[in-house]
Amino acid sequence: MKKTLLFWSGLLIFLLLSGCTVTTREVGSDEKVIYDEGYHFSDKKAIVDDMVKSLLSRPPLLIATDRPVIIVYGIANRTGEHISTSAITDDLRQALLNTGRVRFINETQRKNIERETSYQYGGNVAAETRIQKARQIGAKYMLTGTLRSIKKDQPRQFRLKKKTLMYYSLNMELTDLQTGLIEWADSTEVIREASKPFIGW
Amino acid sequence: MLISLLQAGFAFVRRPGFRYFILFLLLLCLGGCAGRLNKASARYYAGQPQQALELLEKGDHLGKRNQLLFLLEKGVVYHQLGDYQESIQQLLQAAQLIDQFEMLSVTEQAGSLVTNEWMTRYKGEYSERLWVHSYLMMNYLLLGQYDDALVEAKQALERLEKHPKALQRAYFTRALIALCFANLAEDNDAYLVYRQLADDLPSPVTVAADIVRYADRLGMVDEVEKYRSFLPRNLPAGEAELVLFVANGRIPEKRPGNVVLPPSIRFAFPYYSKRTTPRPRMTILPEKWKSLPPVSSDLGTVARDSLAARKTRIIAKETLRVATKEAIAQSVGNKNDAAAEAIMRVTLFLLEEPDTRSWKTLPGRLTLLRILLPAGHHKLQLKLNFPGIYEQHTIDLPEFEIRQGQRMFRSIRY
């Protein structure tokens, strides 16, 4: 009876301890970590790098000398996943700003700018420190884009793994707001295949 | 030392009494599994959604076998309470869980062979897996997050492509998918969904106006001509559109079905009752505002189609389980006396319970109603008449302001 008790206690402790190990590791921002066929943070980095390079190496930004002002109207998500495309535009804006060759309108903060302006003119702020109204700069270009995806599953057949092919494409355009002409357009792609087992423990 | 310990441990398990005790324990555990879910749906239908939520928040008594159901039920209850954001959180988790269930668990399947399907994690019928996306689409549209609604529309399309026959009559969801495409000016995709819907609906009249509109934009002259003849008389026109998601009734529950063969063989299977939810006639007050022909689905019908599509799998597994249990009973009889075999047979017989778990807070019918209006301020009422019943309901819609070209969404359940 003692042996039985010892056996079951030992087995229970072993099972409890074996499932309790937590491991963590730091992942570098340049490191490519991919778990499945879906969209990953490393894809965002690759997409942004491609687009910044293209924008700066082709007209109109290549030949612009007056640091043109751009407004970003976001990237439409037309994929089958909930992807935060504002993260792409945020990184794109930051990378372009860091080159010092363009300037950006802070479109997302417009309401706050209006609120702050109203406050300054509400009577509490000293007149000489108030910002001047009607001094905002108009954008010359508008940056927009669309992120699309196509997913293809391997057809049904007898197998132990299921393969999925995923295709992402980001198309971006720079439109001259005065003429309405598209002055620059480019696209970048990510194609990935992943396989998942059908059977697990 | 180790070997003698192992022998002592397994000798204990080999005792018939211990095995019966384990089986009895399983029987007890499985019997009380769905209690909290049943209580929650009873509260919900008694008009106490908040109390239903409190029960659902407590989760499962034991393990995570019903985790999906808790998430699904919470998704509908939060939707009903108007907390669309929280409903999204619950249903996104449910959708993620459904994706994980694509992998077959060997241990789970082996365990269910000697007990019943209640041992396995509830994975949702094909129809329920689709309706997760239907509710997510509705939630996102109600919140004005149209890009996200489109993501869900695409995921719903994937589900429809996987089980086209089982989900063919999910007209509401299919019309909702088309609406998500149309809402973001994805005309070609909207046209394709409407066109397939026209083939499957009892009459293409319901979607003829949309097909003509998108076929015209895409330059498909022959399609415009073909579907123009199906356009309803006095087709309404308007500057803006109010879209109502109208839910009524209650989805039929799964019932237990049994076939007993002597001496102790029991085939157990779930089925849905043949009850359908009546389709109400909807009128907008003031009556000068008209709606496009509504698209409506009886959820019970779609649920029955889904279960029927799984019939072969259910029968195959049930046969395997019956064979396994018979082999166990005979083995116990050979190694022990007739009394032990009888006890084992009774236990295994009682353990054979059909899996009647289902998403219970769903309505019996979902209808998509699109009302065409001029831009401006509106105060409307929705009048519902049921066929063969004198009773009628009039629902006051909250007042709203609508701009030219705007599409506004509202969800109603009664």
Cβ contacts (< 8 Å) between A85 and chain B: which residues?
A: 147
Interchain CB distance below 8 Å, A201 and B11? no
Q: Does B9 touch chain A (CB under 8 A)?
A: yes
CA A188 to each of CA A45, A149, A182: distance values in angstroms, whole numbers, following the listed order: 12, 12, 17
To test the contact with chain A by mutation, choose from B120, B146, B147 the residue with the greatest count of A C-beta atoms within 10 A, namely B147
Q: How many angstroms away from the CA of B108 is the closest CA of chain A?
A: 8
Residue B320 — pLDDT band, cuts 50, 70, 90?
confident
Residues on chain B touching A7 (C-beta within 8 angstroms) = 5-6, 8-9
Percentage of chain B beyond pLDDT 70 is 91
Q: DSSP letter at B268?
A: E
Whether residues B107 and A196 touch (CB distance < 8 A) is answered with: no
pLDDT at A135: 95
**pLDDT for the residue numbered B333:** 81
* B306-328 mean pLDDT: 87
Residue A192 has a pLDDT of 84
ipTM over 0.85: no
pLDDT of residue B120: 87
- Looking at beta carbons, which residues of chain A come within 8 Å of B102? 162, 196, 198
Of residues A22, A36, A16, the one with CA closest to residue B103:
A36
**Euclidean distance between CA atoms B258 and B318, whole angstroms:** 11
* B27-67: pLDDT as tens digits: 544 544 568 999 999 999 999 999 999 999 988 766 788 99
Supply angle C-alpha A7, A10, A14, rounded to 5.
140
Pick the residue with more confidence: B107 or B16?
A: B107
Contact B103 A197 (CB under 8 A): yes
Instruction: Name the architecture of domain B104-413.
Output: Alpha Horseshoe (1.25)
- Whether B154 and A80 lie within 8 Å, measured CB to CB: yes
Fill in the amino acid letter for B271: Y
pLDDT tens digits for B117-151?
788 889 999 999 999 999 999 999 999 999 999 99
pLDDT digits (tens, 9 = 90+) for B336-395: 878 887 888 888 888 778 889 999 999 999 999 999 999 999 999 999 988 777 778 899
Distance (Å) from the C-alpha of residue A80 to the closest C-alpha of chain B?
A: 5
* Pairing verdict, β B400-402 and B376-378: antiparallel
Nearest to A81 among B4, B151, B184 (CB): B151
Among A11, A78, A199, whose Cβ lies nearest the Cβ of B103?
A: A199
A54 vs B: CB within 8 A: no
| Separation between Cα atoms, residue B191 and residue B174, nearest integer Å | 12
Position with higher pLDDT, B59 vs B183: B183
List, in sequence order, every residue forming a beta bridge with B297; answer none if it has no partner. Answer: B366
Residue with the bigger pLDDT between B155 and B344: it is B155
pLDDT at position A88 over 70: yes
Q: Which two tokens stand for residue B125?
A: 């019928």
Q: Which of B1-10, B18-27, B264-273 has the lowest mean pLDDT?
A: B1-10
DSSP category for residue B291: B
Q: How does residue B13 score in pLDDT terms, banded at 50, 70 and 90?
A: very low
Q: Do B147 and A76 touch (CB under 8 A)?
A: yes
Provide the shortest C-alpha distance from residue B132 to chain A (in Å): 15
Closest by CA to B201, choosing from B171, B166, B161, B235, is B171
What pLDDT was estimated at residue B61? 66
Of chain B, the end-to-end C-alpha distance in Å amounts to 69
Whether residues A151 and B9 touch (CB distance < 8 A) is answered with no
Q: Which of residues 183-202 of B touch A (CB under 8 A)?
A: 184, 186
- Closest-CA residue of A relative to B186 is A78
pLDDT value, residue B62: 67
Asked if B148 reaches chain A (Cβ–Cβ under 8 Å), the answer is: yes
Q: Touching check for B231 and chain A: CB below 8 Å? A: no
Apex CA B194: angle with CA B208 and CA A84, to 5°?
140
Q: What is the mean pLDDT of residues B87-107?
A: 90
Question: CB contact, 8 Å: B104 with chain A?
Answer: yes
Domain ranges of chain B: 104-413
What mean pLDDT is reported for chain A?
86
pLDDT in tens, B232-260: 888 888 899 999 999 999 999 999 988 88
Measured distance CA(A99)–CA(A97) in Å, rounded: 5
Q: Chain A residue with minimal CA distance to B12?
A: A4
Which chain A residue lies closest to B95 (C-alpha atoms)?
A: A81
B78-90 pLDDT, tens digit per residue, is: 999 999 999 999 9
Asked if A155 is an interface residue toward chain B (Cβ–Cβ < 8 A), one would say no
DSSP codes of every residue in A21-87? --------TTS----SSS--HHHHHHHHHHHHHHHHHSTTTTT--S--EEEEEEEEEESSS---HHH
Which domains occur in chain A, in start order? 36-122+137-197 (3.40.50.10610)
